[in-house]
């Protein structure tokens, strides 16, 4: 169940993210999409709406331009140009870990696993006041805003890091479980200990 990639996204029981502006964001012109990308948008946007990851933009929403790019597997990724919003947003204060320190903590381990929290940002809710900072336009198909932490926002990595660390705190303190944004690295000295620890991490994430 924990590894089922076909399951719907579930908003985690964590503190909602609060985003705050330090100054006004300049208004941006809407960028038109060519007909091919309009058809792509018609495929990508409805599932996001159905899962309530996004919703139609409310009055006062700051709108950033969106585009679509092809991923390695041939599917499409929604990409939002948050540069102007990011420049006006107060930075998150939670630090990202030092990679060299992570590697040093794994030096005595012989068994390793890496869990990739695919689209994990979408499990983290936004507070109501922050949603209007995440708006985006898909041309004539309209404007939307996120209900969850959007990829591409400058605060997303640090805010996500903090919440995953909070969820796994006890395991991180007692075992070699390390988090780097949406990657979880697990290390143990023996195979049996490794299998048990991986299952404990998965169970904690499922909860």
For 46-103, give the secondary structure using H, E and C.
HHHHHCCCEEECCCCCCEEEEEEEECCCCCEEEEECCHHHHHHECCCCCCCCCHHHHH
In the chain, what percentage of residues exceed pLDDT 90? 81
Q: What are the residues facing 67 on neighbouring strands?
A: 79
Q: What is the mean pLDDT of residues 73-90?
A: 95
Predicted local distance difference test score (pLDDT) of residue 74: 87
Q: What is the mean pLDDT of residues 59-76?
A: 93
Better-predicted residue by pLDDT, 185 or 206: 185
- Are residues 78 and 146 in contact, defined by beta-carbon separation less than 8 angstroms? no
Predicted local distance difference test score (pLDDT) of residue 8: 60
Give the burial class of 21: count Cβ atoms within 10 A of its Cβ; 0-12 exposed, 13-18 middle, 19 or more buried: middle
Compute CA 159 distance to the chain's CA centroid, rounded to the nearest angstrom: 9
How does pLDDT run across 143-186, given as a tens digit for each residue?
Answer: 999 999 999 999 999 999 999 999 999 888 778 899 999 999 99
How does pLDDT run across 5-32, given as a tens digit for each residue?
Answer: 445 667 888 999 999 999 999 998 888 8
Asked if the model's pLDDT at residue 99 lies above 70, the reply is yes
Q: Cα angle vertex 182, ends 2, 88, to 5°?
A: 135
Q: Where are the beta strands (DSSP E) in the chain?
A: 54-56, 63-70, 76-80, 111-116, 135-137, 143-146, 176-180, 183-188
Among left, alpha and beta (phi > 0; psi -120 to 50; other), residue 86 is: alpha
CATH class of domain segment(s) 35-206: alpha beta
Place of tokens 């018609």: 42
């Amino acid at each position: 169940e924990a590894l089922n990639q076909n399951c719907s996204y579930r908003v985690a029981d964590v503190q909602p993210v609060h985003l705050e502006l330090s100054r006004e964001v300049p208004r941006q012109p809407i960028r038109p999409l060519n007909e091919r990308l309009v058809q792509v948008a018609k495929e990508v946007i409805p599932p996001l709406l159905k899962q309530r990851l996004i919703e139609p933009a409310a009055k006062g929403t700051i709108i950033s331009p969106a585009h679509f790019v092809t991923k390695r597997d041939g599917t499409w990724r929604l990409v939002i140009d948050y540069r102007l919003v990011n420049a006006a947003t107060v930075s998150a204060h939670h630090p990202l870990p030092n990679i060299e320190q992570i590697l040093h903590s794994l030096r005595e381990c012989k068994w390793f696993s890496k869990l990739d929290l695919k689209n994990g940002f979408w499990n983290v809710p936004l507070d109501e006041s922050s949603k209007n900072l995440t708006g985006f336009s898909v041309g004539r198909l309209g404007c939307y805003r996120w209900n969850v932490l959007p990829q591409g926002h400058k605060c997303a990595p640090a805010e996500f890091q903090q919440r995953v660390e909070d969820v796994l705190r006890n395991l991180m303190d007692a075992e070699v479980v390390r988090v780097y944004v949406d990657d979880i690295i697990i290390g143990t000295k023996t195979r049996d200990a490794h299998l048990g620890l991986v299952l404990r991490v998965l169970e904690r994430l499922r909860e």
